[in-house]
Amino acid sequence: MKTKFLGKNEIGINYPGSSKILDPIVRQKKLSDIAGVDYWNAYEFSYLDSNRLPILKVVEITIPASSPITVESKSLKLYLNSFYKKKFISESVVLTKIIKDLSKLTKSEVKAKFIRKFSAEPKSLDINKTTLKFTKPNMPICFTGFRSICPVTSQPDFANIYILTDKKIEIKWLRSYIISFKEKGEFHEQCVEDMLVTLINKYPNSNFEVCGRFMRRGGIDINPIRSNKKNITFKNFRVFNQ
């Protein structure tokens, strides 16, 4: 996979102050009817207000899972970083530009907003600590310590995985399956989608929702949610190690 910036030294890179810096990635979908979103939280976003004073914000960007294209993370970081020397008359103008540029890139309806507080982490069953053999239906499941590999840089990515289902799941099998990703070279979104597809195939006629809360890189964390049901339960919450 060829990318503009990922896996490359930033020294000497010219940062154009426009959407041209954004690098598109075509999604590799395994099911056509998967619902969900990708929550991108950018913690180091700065711009100039109407008085040319620097403003620091946390911006939440929501990209629908149905989009045919997503954005490469390092290019998004560089794009957002370029705002630090641009003047805007209001917060809404800033957000409108982000929404417009990313919606055009991803060919979807992207949302963006500034946030001051995250939703609470859902109460869940930690399958790394429980002595139960099976999960309980309709109770969120949590696996801490997920690891995968970036397919471009080969650097490790870490996350906490949350699963919600109306089915009883064998915990020993589920743990082993999630651990099997530790040497797998896939982007965050694809890892979560792979889990959903596997769960659907192993437990047919069941509802599943899988959420990956990944650790941040370059001031941004990516949190995909995938489900085979229309209504998404998990919110953009934040866990302690994010």
Active site residues: 150, 157
- Using CA atoms, how far residue 167 sits from 130, 153, 174, in Å, is 18, 37, 13
Determine the length of the chain: 242
User: DSSP letter at 98?
Assistant: H
DSSP structure class, residue 87: B
Rounded Cα gap, residues 181 and 193, in angstroms? 12
Residue 215 to residue 222: CA distance in whole angstroms = 8
Provide CB contacts within 8 A for 152, sequence distance 6+: 1, 3, 6, 7
> CA distances (Å), 25 to each of 44, 54, 71, 195, in order?
23, 31, 6, 20
Cα end-to-end distance, the chain, whole Å: 28
Instruction: Tell me the angle at which helices 188-202 and 171-179 cross, rounded to the nearest 10 degrees.
Output: 150
**Using CA atoms, how far apart are residues 78 and 22, in angstroms rounded to an integer?**
8
